[in-house]
Structure 1
Amino acid sequence: MSSPTFTDLRERLAEAVQPGQCDEIGVRRLWWAALDTLQQELIRLNVSEGIWLAAPLPALHEPELLQHLQGWVWAPEHLDQLRRGVAALPPRLGLPIKGSMDAKSEGLFNYQRLALRHDDGQDPVLLVITPSLQVALALHGEPQQRQLLMRCDPTSLGDVLSLLGRRLKDQSPNDAEQLHAALEALGPLHSDEQFKERFWPGLAERLTVSAPALMLQPVVSAETKPENASDDLNLLEALTHEVRTPLATIRTLVRSLVRRKDLPDLVMKRLQQIDVECSEQIDRFGLIFHAAELQRQPTEANLARTDLESILRSLAPGWSEQLKRRDIRLSLDLDRGLPTVMSDSHRLEAMLGGLIDRSSRGLPGGSELHLGLQAAGARVKLQLHVVLPGSATGPANASPAREELGTVLSWDPTTGSLQLSQDATRQMMASLGGRYQPRRDRDLTVFFPVQNDAD
């Protein structure tokens, strides 16, 4: 009998379930909301022991869980290249690459890593077994028929665990023995029959506050990808996940401290700064993650009327505060009464923040970032223009020296900063209805189509 694949596992979870009706972006939103819902439920139950098994990347990130649960993660085989592929990154972004992670030496990362096979597919799977709650989550389905699967019935979970046990025994007998011992140590399991009645309403509530950075949508591209493009995208998605996960953990710990009332003002201020910095980097790497998804699974864009002027005015105060910390000033020149454009307001917010970051990163203190919005015939023109202190011209205002790292990333060797490549930025803006045009130096222009009465 051949070793089970994760495709087999997903198909078992999908038995007796009607096909889904989601597109790729919608089902990914469901996945992230489901992870949050499940983790908060486990925290509410005060779980202190258990196991989790996931693919193709780690799914759990809450520190209250990771310090108690033992994990096994099937990740892309090329994850071992991360240290070589991103050797230019600062040491603080070092990743847990090899073998098992000791909780005392590696903080919250406590899992064994194994290699995925080509026939495992890329859709995520998570199985959590604790004495008080057992749940399996997965994404499944063909394009435009995607769905989130959640099973907590003993029969389905028993079959899934059996498949994973066989896979682990074939791939790593020592890990299979450890899994068996961990399950034995849990003792009798209580099946919570009421969990599904709490899960779906909880997931719906979380969808209403989903972060825009998790909802960027791909566009159709007929470009032929190199044969190793899939491996490169696996690597990049693994990198962005591994960066965002510890940042999310740090932010969670910081927010738990901020709730205390006995901290000095200076400590409180520093904690709030850490929170903001973590959030910005999580959003930045979220854009990179979804740029990689865009390359992997292009789909048609769904656009609707969007009040771009209102979006810019509402986001400008936050951008100003962000730039102020680097001694950069943001000035606005937004025409009033502009027609609505065709885009997606929620996803556009995250992308606009990415453009602000792209134009301002590495600027010297005293610089100014000018944001303009004007009518341009049948389009609305968004412009970003950089003015350096003392002079707006000359070598000091030249574009940063960026080197392309594959189809998604560019790297500034003078600062070590990673950004979306020009092609990836152009394609992501196209998915939001915008025509992206980089100008001289750091300047850029984006044209958005005006909404017609017939639209």
Structure 2
Amino acid sequence: MVSLADLRRCLAEGVPAGVGSEDTVRRQWWAALATLQEDFLLQGQPLDGLWLAAPLPALYEPALLQQLQGWVWAPRELDDLLPGSAPLLPGAGRAASTGGFQRLVLEDDDGTDPLLLVITPQLQVALCLDGPPEGRRLIVRFDPAALSEALRLIHERLLARDPEASSSLRSALQRLGPLRSDDQLGLRFWPRMGERLAAMAPSLTLQPLVHGGTARDRPGGDTPRAISSELALLEALTHEVRTPLATIRTLIRSLLRRGDLSPVVRQRLEQIDGECSEQIDRFGLIFLAAELQRQPGGEATLENHALARTDLSQVLRQHQELWQRQLARRGLELELEIAAGLSPVLSDPARLETTLGGLIDRFSRGLPSGSRVTVSLLPAGSRLKLQLSSEGHRLEDTASAEDSEQRELVGPVLSWNPATGSLQLSRQATQRLFHRLGGRLTERSGSGLTVFFPVC
């Protein structure tokens, strides 16, 4: 049977090996999607054509989704996340000929790297990500030979697994008539994509995913199919959230460079920028927590992850203003209390700032407006004690027993409260993250959160 991994290998044939990290190629993917949609597809209105994507829709422009026929390979778990809720993929289930897209099943051997093919009479292109860790690459193919082989593989797969979808796709291609390939497309695409990529100011805390194979490939992995399925779902959801947010943030920051904005407009744009960055970072943290879950026995290990001397007090001071702005959007205040003359700790400074921001967000989600979050850093023998507390009563502590019972674990990484709509890292996942950073997290209802870090 043809897998989407086979399709990516087909598109990668003849392409030089990658040298990028996950963070690097994800930023390239976002820039490529923005370039394709805004500089090529939207400039050719009205449109006629089709697209295929995995593991979630890569197209996000409403005008394109309404005009083009689509097919999406998506994880089965999307329908199982919240049974009885509305479909998580807008447009799914509608006939492809009326816009939107049709759902196809993402199989276990397909992988979760993003993939997109777009076929119109004037433009045919395929994009995907592939490669091992630290050898990741973005692949963009315009050449007819590669695209014809890709469509052949897709037809073979659908014929074996979904004959009805195969017939629909074949009919859609026939309706398009003769296709015209432009040899100059690449010459126009890459410079424009480079401009967009350069305009993307990276988030300080956007974390990469380190691919290390599925849990079934690792000895001692707990419930490998369940863990692998959850990671596939989280990767798909994370991609779906981060891609449009990254594009929105890029556009916002390009507008902020203008000098003719009124103070009110500038303030609103800065608020939108902050919200986008906060959610991109939040889902990056969820992504990292899911990856740690895939390690042997479900436990985070430190042998292959060197810790370094880290000035924790400096990290807190550097990010105080950012965290204050984030809390202020929910009507909360931040107070920082740091003892003098504190020693450095052993931790991972590259990921520490993200995890601390996620911890503050997790702690403050249940606080009523007007509360003050106090972050204190004090010596505690051979360790430093980082404590989060508040004089306000947490909503989870005062909620009814019925509301407490409604909080559910969505696998070992996420917890979900349908009563409040709160989706957070589970306590176990948060503890695992801090263990990876050399710390130990303790959490007691009504007494705040405490993390102990070893002193150098």
TM-score higher than 0.5: yes
Q: What is aligned with 1:31? A: 26
Q: What is aligned with 1:10? A: 8
Give how far 1:199 is off.
7.5
Q: What is aligned with 2:55? A: 56
Q: Is the 8 A contact 2:249 2:277 kept in 1?
A: yes
Structure 1's unaligned 5+ residue stretches are none
C-alpha distance in 2, partners of 1:142/1:218? Answer: 7
C-alpha distance in 1, partners of 2:418/2:114? Answer: 34
Moved more, 193-202 or 54-63: 193-202
Aligned residue for 2:206, secondary structure, equals helix
Q: Is the 8 A contact 2:221 2:295 kept in 1?
A: no
Do structure 1's residue 371 and structure 2's residue 372 form an aligned pair?
A: no
Aligned residue for 1:84, secondary structure, equals coil
Equivalences, count: 433
Q: What is aligned with 2:149? A: 159
Q: Quick one: structure 1 residues 366 and 412, their matched pair in 2 at CA, closer, same or farther if it must change by over 3 Å?
A: same
Give how far 1:407 is off.
0.4
Q: 2:182 aligns with which of 190, 193, 206?
A: 190
Q: Quick one: structure 1 residues 102 and 386, their matched pair in 2 at CA, closer, same or farther if it must change by over 3 Å?
A: farther
Q: Quick one: structure 1 residues 131 and 371, their matched pair in 2 at CA, closer, same or farther if it must change by over 3 Å?
A: farther
C-alpha distance in 2, partners of 1:372/1:152? Answer: 55
Q: What is aligned with 2:359? A: 355
Give how far 1:17 is off.
4.4
Do structure 1's residue 213 and structure 2's residue 206 form an aligned pair?
A: yes
Moved more, 54-63 or 202-211: 202-211
Q: Is the 8 A contact 1:233 1:292 kept in 2?
A: yes
Do structure 1's residue 96 and structure 2's residue 101 form an aligned pair?
A: no
Do structure 1's residue 127 and structure 2's residue 117 form an aligned pair?
A: yes
Q: Quick one: structure 1 residues 398 and 435, their matched pair in 2 at CA, closer, same or farther if it must change by over 3 Å?
A: farther
Moved more, 320-329 or 216-225: 216-225
Do structure 1's residue 437 and structure 2's residue 430 form an aligned pair?
A: no
Q: Is the 8 A contact 2:133 2:211 kept in 1?
A: no
Q: Quick one: structure 1 residues 28 and 266, their matched pair in 2 at CA, closer, same or farther if it must change by over 3 Å?
A: closer
Q: Quick one: structure 1 residues 65 and 375, their matched pair in 2 at CA, closer, same or farther if it must change by over 3 Å?
A: farther
Structure 2's unaligned 5+ residue stretches are none
C-alpha distance in 2, partners of 1:216/1:309? Answer: 27
Q: Is the 8 A contact 2:35 2:193 kept in 1?
A: no
Q: Is the 8 A contact 2:206 2:281 kept in 1?
A: yes
Q: 1:140 aligns with which of 107, 112, 130?
A: 130
TM-score of the aligned structures, taking structure 1 as reference length: 0.76
TM-score of the aligned structures, taking structure 2 as reference length: 0.76
Give how far 1:176 is off.
1.5
Moved more, 172-181 or 359-368: 172-181
Q: Quick one: structure 1 residues 286 and 143, their matched pair in 2 at CA, closer, same or farther if it must change by over 3 Å?
A: closer
Aligned residue for 1:287, secondary structure, equals helix
TM-superposition CA deviations, 1:11-54 (whole Å, max 9, x none): 223334455456xxx22541343232342254234354454322
Q: 1:229 aligns with which of 222, 227, 230?
A: 227
Q: Quick one: structure 1 residues 437 and 179, their matched pair in 2 at CA, closer, same or farther if it must change by over 3 Å?
A: farther
Aligned residue for 1:371, secondary structure, equals strand
C-alpha distance in 1, partners of 2:287/2:362? Answer: 16
Give how far 1:372 is off.
1.5
Identity of aligned residues (%): 48
C-alpha distance in 2, partners of 1:421/1:271? Answer: 32
Q: Is the 8 A contact 2:78 2:88 kept in 1?
A: no
RMSD: 4.4
Q: Quick one: structure 1 residues 381 and 181, their matched pair in 2 at CA, closer, same or farther if it must change by over 3 Å?
A: farther
